[in-house]
Amino acid sequence: MSRLRAILALLAAGLVLAACQPAQPTRSPAEIAAQAAAMAPADARLADLYSHACKACHANPGAGAPLTGDRAAWAPRAAKGMPALMTSVLGGYKGMPAGGQCFSCTADDDKALVRFMADQPVN
Ligand code: HEC
């Protein structure tokens, strides 16, 4: 009888825990950094631009930049809208130098790079 009660209590605790799970599992800073280091744009030209510019900071946890693929960190940036983000990239923003250190990026490249790093729609 008491064993049955214990099993029921465990089941109930399991249900409560399952209900509290966030939709996306919470990841450690190390996991987020590892993912950022591993990600690259599928397009070869963008991948080249990215690896020579944005990646130096946006895959570097010490740079203070939102990391590539860290959707939670990018969500408030994405909410600013693409025009505002382009102003930040082109003119520089806090720790980011003007142009994000990409001297051959077109405006379309910058937008594609932002969407790639944010890993979510940015309009
Ligand atoms: C030298 C480091 C560095 C490089 C290179 C760099 N960034 Fe950044 N970037 C930052 C930092 C730091 C921030 C966060 C600034 C803050 O909010 O304090 C940032 C923020 C941003 C933001 C958010 C701006 C906002 O208004 O919130 C965008 C968009 C962005 N970077 C795009 C890019 C793109 C695209 C490239 C490559 C073409 C790039 N960055 C290259 C350091 C860099």
Span 69-101, pLDDT tens digits:
999 999 999 999 999 999 999 999 999 999 999
Q: What are the C-alpha distances in Å from 5 to residues 2, 19, 28?
A: 5, 21, 36
pLDDT at 53 (0 to 100): 98
Which pTM was predicted? 0.84
Q: Which two tokens stand for residue 21?
A: 């799970």
- Ligand 1 atom nearest to 64, measured from its CA: 12
Ligand 1, atom 19, residue with closest C-alpha: 65
**What are the angstrom distances between the C-alpha of 66 and each of 31, 63, 97?**
14, 9, 15
CA of 122 to the centre of ligand 1 (A): 15
Taking the C-alpha atoms of residue 25 and residue 12, their distance in angstroms, rounded to an integer, is 21
**CB distance 71 to ligand 1 below 6 Å:** no
Q: Report the CATH fold assignment for 27-118.
A: Cytochrome Bc1 Complex; Chain D, domain 2 (1.10.760)
113 and 52 Cβ atoms separated by less than 8 Å: no
Contact 107, 67 (CB under 8 A): no
- By most ligand atoms within 8 Å of CB, the mutation choice from 52, 58, 87 for ligand 1 is 58
